[in-house]
Structure formats: structure tokens, C-alpha cells
Amino acid sequence: MSRNNKLKELGKPVVSVLDSGLWYYCRHPNYFGETLWWWGLVVFAWSLGHGWTFIGAFVNTLCLAYVTRLVEERMLKQESRAKAFRLYQKTTSVWIPWFKSFPSEVKNKNA
């Protein structure tokens, strides 16, 4: 059973956006890891004279970029998650893990 389903049963608020762990540093760390894996294989294969293998990694990267767009559009369509996800988008890198950035509106509220 998912964490949100358990929270619903207990009458507690659900988690609208996963922003802890690796998801604190980027919105799609699993896609980043997958991309690194395939491009790492390309580097290895290229050194063995199989440069054509870059085609698979390139197509995989394009597919993940497309899926990323679909997932993010779906999150924005869900009213219960849209506001939190927009803030998450403004402050968190899409694929490459990086430090959080804070939009001016968030900085001003904390001042």
C-alpha cells in the first residue's frame, strides 16, 4: 500500500510532492541515473570500437526527456498538487542533481 493511501486511512494529509532524499536535489533522479548508465556503456563500447552504440543512449535520452515532460504536465493538472509542484519546479533542477535555488518570492517571504 502506498504511503499516501496509508495517510488517507489515518485521516492525515497526503504528500503532494516527493521532495526528500534524492528528490530534494533534482526532480527525476531515477532518470538521471538511467541516463548516466546508458551513456557510461556508450563510453565503454566506444573504447572497444563500437561507436554506433551511442544511437541507443541518444534515443533513450530523448524518450526520458519526453516522459519527463508528460509526468510534469500530469502533476500540474492535479489541483491538489499543482501549487506545490510549481514551487518544486522553480526551486529544483529537472535531471541533474544540484543545490536548491529559491525564487525571489520565496526569499522575500523569509526576509
pLDDT tens string 9-64 = 777 667 789 899 999 999 999 999 999 999 999 999 999 999 999 999 999 999 99
Residue 67 contacts residue 1 (beta carbons within 8 Å) = no
The Cα 110–Cα 62 span in angstroms is 38
State residue 54 phi and psi, 5-degree precision. -60, -25
Q: Which secondary-structure segment (H or E) carries 34?
A: helix 29-47
Which amino acid is it at 62?
L
Using alpha carbons, list the distances in angstroms from residue 47 to 7, 34, 37, 56, 58.
50, 20, 16, 16, 17
Q: Which residue has the cell 536548491?
A: 100
pLDDT tens string 55-105 = 999 999 999 999 999 999 999 999 888 999 999 999 999 999 988 887 665
Q: What is the pTM of this model?
A: 0.76
Closest CA to 79 of 20, 2, 16, 5: 16
Grid cell locating 50: 563500437
